[in-house]
Amino acid sequence: MADLQQHLFKLRDAEYAMFQAKLTPGIPEENFIGVRVPILRKFAKDYMKNPECNSFIHTLPHIYYDENMLHGLLLSEVKDYDECVDLVDQFLPYVDNWAVCDIMSPKVFRKHKGKLIHKIQQWSKSTHTYTCRFGLEMLMSHFLDEDFQSEILDIPLHARHEDYYVKMMVAWFFATALTKQWDASISIIESKQLAPWTHNKTIQKACESYRITPEQKTYLKLLRGVL
């Protein structure tokens, strides 16, 4: 993959690399090339046509953060559902930060929600931080609108992962649920079923949303717990 790395370095923004390193704790600064996301997205669309692309997505692990970001963007464009899930399963164990996790959003998932919900249940039970986070993010992205059923709230409710990035995703999920499915999700906040930190963070994030009414925000603030 030396040719790919050389090309990515040609797209490098050194200041952006330093900025990304500060936002992504735990990843060595030298692992950041510094390709801005819009440029990387454009590159990914072109790279998909390159015969080397297939070899790249089957060669793990990568060295650079930017390679992992590219990998996530490429998986988001895979058109066959089963192939996409297989590739995601191969990649998730190597995902070691929130940004790479969150950039993955396979478009094909929208057409296969019956199968997807079962994979989400598997991912969300994982002890691997970013596999769990990815599962919860897919649940939030695909099952809080027309495909919503109150039972899906049990999935993040039982994700008792202690890692910060999972707890943040659970809070993000329930804050989003409050904006979209208030009647179904407010009872979880009222009964304090979430861990205290996640409960309060959910309320904070919900109150930051313009989709929550002033009256709802006032009520939520009354439900804040003491840590």
Sign of the torsion angle spanned by Cα atoms 142, 36, 133, 180: negative
Mean pLDDT by runs of 10 across the 227 residues of the chain is 88 95 93 97 95 94 97 97 98 97 97 96 96 98 96 92 94 98 96 94 96 96 81
Q: Identify the helix (H) or strand (E) that includes residue 63.
A: none
pLDDT score of 161: 81
Structural domain of residue 98, as residue ranges?
A: 1-111
pLDDT score of 159: 86
Query: 3-state DSSP call for residue 77?
Result: coil
**Do 77 and 146 reside in the same domain of the chain?**
no
Q: Which of 112, 136, 113 is nearest to 123 (CA)?
A: 136
Give the integer Cα–Cα distance in Å for 172 and 166.
10
pLDDT score of 3: 87
**Do 187 and 81 reside in the same domain of the chain?**
no
Task: Choose one of 64, 88, 111: the last residue of a domain.
Answer: 111
**Do 142 and 215 reside in the same domain of the chain?**
yes
**Do 162 and 107 reside in the same domain of the chain?**
no
pLDDT score of 226: 59
DSSP letter for each residue of 148-175: --GGGGHHHHT----SHHHHHHHHHHHH
pLDDT score of 97: 96
Task: Choose one of 111, 131, 160: the last residue of a domain.
Answer: 111
**Do 50 and 127 reside in the same domain of the chain?**
no
Give the integer Cα–Cα distance in Å for 4 and 210.
42
**Do 136 and 188 reside in the same domain of the chain?**
yes
Output the pTM of the full model.
0.95
pLDDT score of 108: 98
Give the integer Cα–Cα distance in Å for 7 and 66.
11
pLDDT score of 162: 87
**Do 91 and 177 reside in the same domain of the chain?**
no
User: For the chain, what is the domain count?
Assistant: 2
**Do 180 and 212 reside in the same domain of the chain?**
yes
**Do 67 and 147 reside in the same domain of the chain?**
no
**Do 177 and 196 reside in the same domain of the chain?**
yes
Q: Identify the helix (H) or strand (E) that includes residue 103.
A: helix 98-103
Task: Choose one of 96, 111, 126: the last residue of a domain.
Answer: 111
Give the integer Cα–Cα distance in Å for 206 and 217.
8
**Do 183 and 75 reside in the same domain of the chain?**
no
**Do 145 and 214 reside in the same domain of the chain?**
yes
The dihedral region occupied by 26, where left means phi > 0, alpha psi between -120 and 50, and beta the remainder, is: left
Q: How far out from the chain centre does Cα 96 lie?
A: 12
